[in-house]
A and B are shown apart, each in its own frame.
Chain A
Amino acid sequence: MSAQLAALVSSHLSDRRRSLLAWGLPIGLMSAFIVAIFPSVEDSVSKVVEKYPAGLKEAFGIGQLSDVEQYLHAEMLSLIVPLALGYLAVRAVASGLAGAAESGRLDVLLSAPVSRRRLCAAGFLATAVELAAVLAISLLLTMLGSALAGAGLDAGRAAAGFAGVWPLALLFAGLGVIACAWSLRTSVVTGAVAGVLVAMYVVDLIGRLDPSFDWLRYASVFKYYGNAIEDGIEPIAFAGVTVAACALAAIGAWLFDRRDISA
Chain B
Amino acid sequence: MTAIEVEGLTKFYGRHRGIEDVTFAVAPGEVFGFLGPNGAGKTTTIRALLDLHHPTSGSARIFGLDSRRDSVAIRARLGNLPGDFGFGRQASGREALRLLARLRGIDGLGRAEALAERFQADLDRPLGQLSRGNRQKVGLILATFHEPELLIFDEPTSGLDPLMQEEFLALVDEERGRGCTVFVSSHDLDEVQRICDRVGMVREGRLIAVERMVDLLGKARRKVSVQLAETSSLDDLRALPGVSELVVSDGRAGFEVAGDLDQVLKALATHHVTDIEAVHPSLEEVFLGYYREEGGEG
Contact = CB atoms under 8 A, between A and B. Distances in A.
20 contacts: A3-B102, A4-B102, A14-B95, A15-B91, A100-B88, A104-B84, A108-B85, A108-B139, A110-B51, A111-B75, A111-B78, A111-B82, A112-B75, A112-B76, A113-B76, A113-B103, A260-B53, A262-B47, A262-B52, A262-B53
Interface string B236-271: 000000000000000000000000000000000000
A115 interface: yes
Contacts of B52: 107, 110, 260-262
Interface residues of A, number: 26
Interface string B168-187: 00000000000000000000
A110 B99 CA distance: 12
A103 B89 contact: yes
A192 interface: no
Contacts of B100: 108, 112
B37 interface: no
A137 B95 CA distance: 27
A7 interface: yes
Interface of A: 3-4, 7-8, 11, 14-15, 99-100, 103-105, 107-115, 258, 260-263
Nearest to A18: B90
Contact of A105 (B72, B76, B88, B103): B88
A169 B232 CA distance: 90
Contacts of B71: 115
Contacts of B102: 3-4, 7
Interface in B198-244: none
B19 to A, nearest CB: 13
B189 interface: no
B50 A110 contact: yes
A104 B85 contact: yes
Given A112-B103, A113-B72, 6 more contacts: A7-B102, A8-B103, A108-B100, A110-B51, A112-B75, A263-B84
Contact of A11 (B53, B99, B139): B99
